[in-house]
Amino acid sequence: MLPIRQFVDGFNKGDTASAYAAYEKGNITIADEFSPHRWTGPNAAQAWAADYEKHATATGVTDGIVKYDAPTRTEIEGDLAYVIIPTVYLYKEHGKPIAEEGQATFVLHAEPSGWKIRSWTWSGVKPHPCK
């Protein structure tokens, strides 16, 4: 769970260096709800972050944070792990509070330095005003 916390907490704090350090070196894959929906390769994390910023600017999204809880599923086979965590993405869209409940699914790879993110995907409900 450590690289997942490192990535999400880095995202929440705007600490891209910490977030990027959670990924393994080499090709990674990210799938998310905004275009182009899929990023792959050694610079996928940086490309995803750049596209997230473009999307946020174009749609008036600010103050985005991801809240998460303990994994609901963890499968470990050798040097690979499959982990699902429940999430809530909270942000403002043109100043209005929005929530998006969902889950993030990660594939982790065990390296000599510890577990690293190999891929992740976000799946969530349609965004809605906060209650």
**Distance separating the N- and C-terminal Cα atoms of the chain:** 29
**What SS3 state is found at 80?**
strand
Smallest CA-to-CA distance from 87 within 46, 40, 32 is with: 32
Question: Given this model, what pLDDT does residue 55 score?
Answer: 97
Work out how many domains the chain is built from and give that number: 1
Range of the domain at 29: 2-129
Of residues 12, 7, 9, the one with CA closest to residue 90: 12
Residue 19 maps to which CATH number? Answer: 3.10.450.50
The first and second tokens of residue 9, run together, are 């907490």
- Reported residue count of the chain is 131
pLDDT tens digits for the chain (131 residues)? Answer: 799 999 999 999 999 999 999 999 999 999 999 999 999 999 999 999 999 999 999 999 999 999 999 999 999 999 999 999 999 999 999 999 999 999 999 999 999 999 999 999 999 999 999 98
